[in-house]
């Protein structure tokens, strides 16, 4: 049984690097693609927002002397490279996939047009939203929230390297406790570090449920759409 029929899957760029600090891991790309196929086979409509942290982040760039807007633009371009890499991996499984970008690049990818994105989904194509929101000072979490609302997704599913939301950073604290459910307000006020506040606020205002789960564990995307208890759910 499917709990969610149309999902916005936010995949962090960082996860694409796998064990490396930078670039792509072929194993991760293949694992994501295989998991997406599994869910696509169940006729779930899948839209993906891909991050860029495995290549460049504007905020990190500023510490190295790159001005913020330039750095953010570089970050957005990184998401387009990731989008193409992911498209390529998914197409190896014979699934029609379209990359739609918020930063115009007509030779490379379609421009983001909301109605076209929805049409692709209805036709069973996997849609990858690249280029973030097209604006600096945002993150791809915000693009995820925005696109989830624009396509009327049932859920914003954030697939990362950690298996949910913890009260403390689980990488640094052995006694960190995982939440099964958390409210938007708690996630914002306790600064739980799952998503930036802009993305959380947008979801809260528009009642878009969020699930945070480990997408690197094979089979988890399917478990998530079938409503199995994995990760952490953020709700009202
Ligand atoms: N970015 C941006 N506007 C957006 C989305 C992304 O300027 O709407 C830039 C920003 O510099 C960000 C980078 O692109 O740091 C890569 O995205 P993100 O850090 O969200 O990637 P992830 O954490 O998912 O790997």
> Rounded to the nearest whole angstrom, what is the distance from the C-alpha of residue 76 to the centroid of ligand 1?
6
Q: What pLDDT is recorded for position 211?
A: 98
Q: Give the per-residue pLDDT at 82.
A: 98
180 pLDDT band, cuts 50/70/90, is very high
Residues above pLDDT 70, as percent of the chain: 100
Tell me if 1 is assigned to some domain: no
pLDDT tens by residue, 216-229: 999 999 999 999 99
Ligand 1 test: best mutation among 76, 134, 146, most atoms within 8 Å of CB?
76
CATH number at residue 228: 3.40.1160.10
| Any domain includes 66 | yes
Per-residue buried b or exposed e for 199-228, using 16+ beta carbons within 10 Å of the residue's own CB: bbebbbeeebbbbbbbbbeeebbbbbbeee
Under the banding of pLDDT at 50, 70 and 90, the label for residue 170 is confident
**CB-ligand 1 contact for 158 (6 Å cutoff):** no
The string of pLDDT tens digits covering residues 99-155 is 999 999 999 999 999 999 999 999 999 999 999 999 999 999 999 999 999 999 999
> 93: which 2 tokens?
């499984």
21 — pLDDT class (breaks 50, 70, 90): confident
| Domain encompassing residue 31 | 6-234
Is residue 146, in this structure, part of any structural domain at all?
yes
Asked whether the predicted pLDDT for residue 194 surpasses 90, the reply is no
Q: How far apart are CA 120 and CA 117, in angstroms?
A: 5
**Biggest alpha carbon–alpha carbon distance for the chain:** 51
Indicate whether 169 pLDDT > 90: no
Q: Looking at per-residue confidence, does 162 or 69 come out higher? A: 69
- 221 belongs to a structural domain: yes
Distance (angstroms) between ligand 1 centre and the Cα of 199 equals: 12
Query: What pLDDT score does 33 carry?
Result: 98
pLDDT tens figures, 39-67 = 999 999 999 999 999 999 999 999 999 99
Q: Who's near 177: CB < 8 A, 6+ residues apart?
A: 166, 167, 168
What are the phi and psi torsion angles at 181 (to 5°)? -135, 150
pLDDT for residue 186? 95
Residue 192: predicted pLDDT: 86
pLDDT, mean over the chain: 96
Q: Whole-structure pTM over 0.85, yes or no?
A: yes
Mutation choice for ligand 1 from 24, 51, 71, CB with most ligand atoms inside 8 A: 51
196 lines ligand 1 (CB under 6 A): no
Q: Among the atoms of ligand 1, which is closest to the Cα of residue 73? A: 7
Please give the C-alpha separations between residue 176 and each of 163, 171, 173, 197, 216, in angstroms, as whole numbers.
Answer: 12, 9, 5, 21, 20
Our answer on whether the CB atom of 144 is closer than 6 Å to any ligand 1 atom is no
Tally of domains within the chain: 1
- How are beta strands 126-130 and 110-111 bridged, if at all? unpaired
Which pLDDT belongs to residue 191?
84
How far apart, in whole angstroms, are the C-alpha atoms of residue 26 and residue 29?
Answer: 5
Question: Is 134 contained in some domain?
Answer: yes
Residues found in the chain: 236
């Amino acid at each position: 049984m499917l709990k969610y029929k149309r999902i916005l899957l936010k995949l962090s760029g960082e996860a694409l690097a796998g064990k490396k600090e930078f670039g792509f891991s072929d194993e991760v790309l293949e694992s994501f693609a295989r998991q997406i196929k599994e869910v696509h086979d169940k006729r779930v409509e899948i839209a993906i927002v891909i991050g860029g942290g495995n290549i460049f982040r504007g905020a990190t760039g500023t510490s190295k002397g790159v001005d913020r807007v330039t750095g953010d633009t570089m970050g957005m371009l990184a998401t387009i490279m990731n989008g193409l890499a992911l498209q390529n991996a998914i197409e190896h499984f014979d699934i029609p996939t379209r990359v739609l970008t918020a930063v115009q690049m007509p030779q490379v990818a379609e421009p983001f047009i909301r109605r076209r994105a929805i049409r692709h989904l209805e036709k069973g194509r996997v849609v990858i939203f690249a280029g973030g929101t097209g604006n600096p000072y945002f993150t791809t979490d915000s693009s995820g929230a925005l696109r989830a609302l624009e396509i009327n997704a049932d859920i914003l599913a954030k697939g990362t390297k950690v298996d949910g939301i913890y009260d403390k950073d689980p990488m640094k604290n052995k006694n960190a406790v995982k939440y099964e459910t958390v409210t938007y307000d708690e996630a914002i006020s306790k600064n739980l570090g799952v998503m930036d506040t802009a993305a959380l606020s947008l979801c809260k205002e528009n009642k878009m449920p969020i699930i945070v789960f480990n997408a690197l564990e094979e089979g988890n995307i399917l478990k998530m759409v079938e409503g199995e208890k994995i990760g952490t759910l953020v709700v009202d």
